[in-house]
Amino acid sequence: MKSEYDVLIIGGGPGGALAAKTAAEKGLSVALAEKRPAIGAPVRCAEGIGEDLICEFFDEIDPKWISAKIEGAKLIAPDGSYFYLNPEMAGNEVGFVLDRKFFDRDLIWQAVHAGAEIFVKARAVGAIVENGVVCGAKIEYNGEVREVRAKITIAADGVESKFTRWCGIDTTVPLREMETCAQYLMTDINIEPNITVFHVGREIAPEGYLWIFPKGHRSANVGIGISGTQSGDGQRAKDYLDRYVSENFPEGKIIEQIAGGVSVCEPLECTVSDGLMIIGDAARISDPMTGGGIYNAMYTGRLAAEVASKCIESGDLSKEALMEYDSVWRDSKMGRALERNYQMKEIFVKLTDKQLNAILTSVKNLKMADFSTLSLVKEIVKLNPKLIKDLTGLK
Ligand code: FAD
């Protein structure tokens, strides 16, 4: 590890990897520090992603990244009524359940091939801030803490991000907007191999949802997220998950367990400061409605590196110059979806089980030629006029 780079990236998730690859392709000297001993493990993710989204980054999808191809989805209400998005309707919403152990590693390999230096078991333990300007990080590596300076530092350290705080930016997520999650990778279970399943309702997953994401033959990520404020003794995410699993998959085997958090708040007010760019989960850029953030992290990682490259070339590393990154992602399709989905989430968390039952019953027989989340919401509004008042803010 050298003492100086053009770009230093903290965190080796999909966001950090895309930032490293893009910055290296632009000819910059790049270091990425990942605190874990291995990239991609443990996987704290249900691994779902839309096909159109992932195709934005690659000409070809490597089959080993994919655990299952998804052709439809079932959204199940507390009383068992459900909306079934079948393969004919699914259109552009089909997707994949990834194998992130392979996927994340390949992203990092691509960064290495582009020329980035990657360090695992390299933990950022502090920021170097001089006169308000972020100039790099203190990295604990091989038993010693060293100062690594950079023209631009990119915080890609995920939902647990401390780096941004060390730079003086408040990243607190209100407890009600932090979903606490538990997930089992299960095998020996009867599932539909190409259909994702979502259960909603206060009894099953208060202010969140329970998911089944197929991972191949008789295997799936079975997980749950509930609001932090709903968690308590006997009512933790794992308790809800255990109850569901014992009722629905009593013979299933759990071969991996994870716990994690997902922020469902609005993104940070500003995602840059002098010498610093914040991407992906660290910037709270995951989808407030679904909790999905793989695409968002990759998108912001690539964009941050592109803007960083321009700013390094021009020699202007000020917050004002880096703001281009902040305004471009906010104005992008993804940024606008975040805004809309935040409003949707605020309504969703207030719905009672009775209202959820009514909504899902109303759309049960819906056939839509052109499916998208937004068109489904529009149909729900049409069929449930009482909700319109709450939803009128939607774009
Ligand atoms: P991360 O992938 O979290 O990477 C951050 C990296 O930074 C980590 O490797 C971490 O070890 C490292 N790091 C942290 N601190 C330091 C430090 N001090 N020094 C060095 N390294 C550090 N998203 C989807 O799109 N689809 C899903 O189905 C989905 N399911 C999910 C299910 C669960 C249970 C959870 C918890 C999340 C899920 N997500 C899902 C969200 C998704 O995992 C994240 O949005 C995505 O991984 C964000 O990428 P990132 O690069 O911003 O951060």
Q: Which atom of ligand 1 is nearest to the CA of 223?
A: 34
pLDDT tens for residues 148-190? 999 999 999 999 999 999 999 999 999 999 999 999 999 999 9
ipTM: 0.99
Position 326 scores a pLDDT of 98
Residue 393, pLDDT above cutoff 70: no
The pTM of the whole model exceeds 0.80: yes
Residues with CB under 6 Å of ligand 1 are: 10-16, 33-36, 44-49, 123-124, 156-160, 162, 181, 183, 223, 260, 262, 280-282, 286, 291-294, 297
Which architecture characterizes domain 69-96+174-264+340-395 according to CATH? 2-Layer Sandwich (3.30)
Kindly give, in sequence order, each residue whose CB lies less than 8 Å from that of residue 79, ignoring residues fewer than 6 positions away: 353, 357
Residue 392, pLDDT above cutoff 70: no
213-242 as b/e, with b when 16 or more CB fall inside 10 Å? Answer: bbbeeebbbbbbbbbbebbeeeebbbbbbe
Closest C-alpha residue for ligand 1 atom 4: 13
Q: How confident is the model at residue 22 (pLDDT cuts 50, 70, 90)?
A: very high
pLDDT tens for residues 57-99? 999 999 999 999 999 899 999 999 998 887 767 654 579 999 9
Distance, CA of 235 to CA of 117 (rounded, Å):
44
pLDDT tens for residues 260-273? 999 999 999 999 99
Q: Which atom of ligand 1 is nearest to the CA of 16?
A: 51
Residue 297, pLDDT above cutoff 80: yes
Question: Which of 5-9, 246-250, 385-389 bottoms out in mean pLDDT, i.e. has the lowest?
Answer: 385-389
Closest C-alpha residue for ligand 1 atom 42: 293
Query: How many whole angstroms from 387 Cα to the centroid of ligand 1?
Result: 34
Percent residues over pLDDT 70 in the chain: 94
Residue 395, pLDDT above cutoff 50: no
Closest C-alpha residue for ligand 1 atom 45: 293
> Tokens at residue 161, please?
């991000």
Q: What is the dihedral of CA 29, 34, 40, 45, to 10 degrees?
A: -110
> Tokens at residue 369, please?
């030629």
Closest C-alpha residue for ligand 1 atom 3: 158
Query: Tokens 């592109």 — which residue?
Result: 306
Q: Which atom of ligand 1 is nearest to the CA of 259?
A: 34
Full DSSP string of 116-132? -EEEESEEEEEEEEETT
Position 382 scores a pLDDT of 77
What is the domain class of 4-44+101-172+268-331 according to CATH? alpha beta
Amino acid type, 275: G
Percent residues over pLDDT 90 in the chain: 83
Closest C-alpha residue for ligand 1 atom 38: 45
Position 364 scores a pLDDT of 80
Position 96 scores a pLDDT of 95
Kindly give, in sequence order, each residue whose CB lies less than 8 Å from that of residue 378, ignoring residues fewer than 6 positions away: none
Ligand 1 probe mutation, 173, 281, 341, 373, most atoms within 8 A of CB: 281
Query: Tokens 């000409």 — which residue?
Result: 59
Domain boundaries along the sequence of the chain: 4-44+101-172+268-331, 69-96+174-264+340-395
Of 82-91, 93-102, 235-244, 377-386, the range with the highest mean pLDDT is 235-244
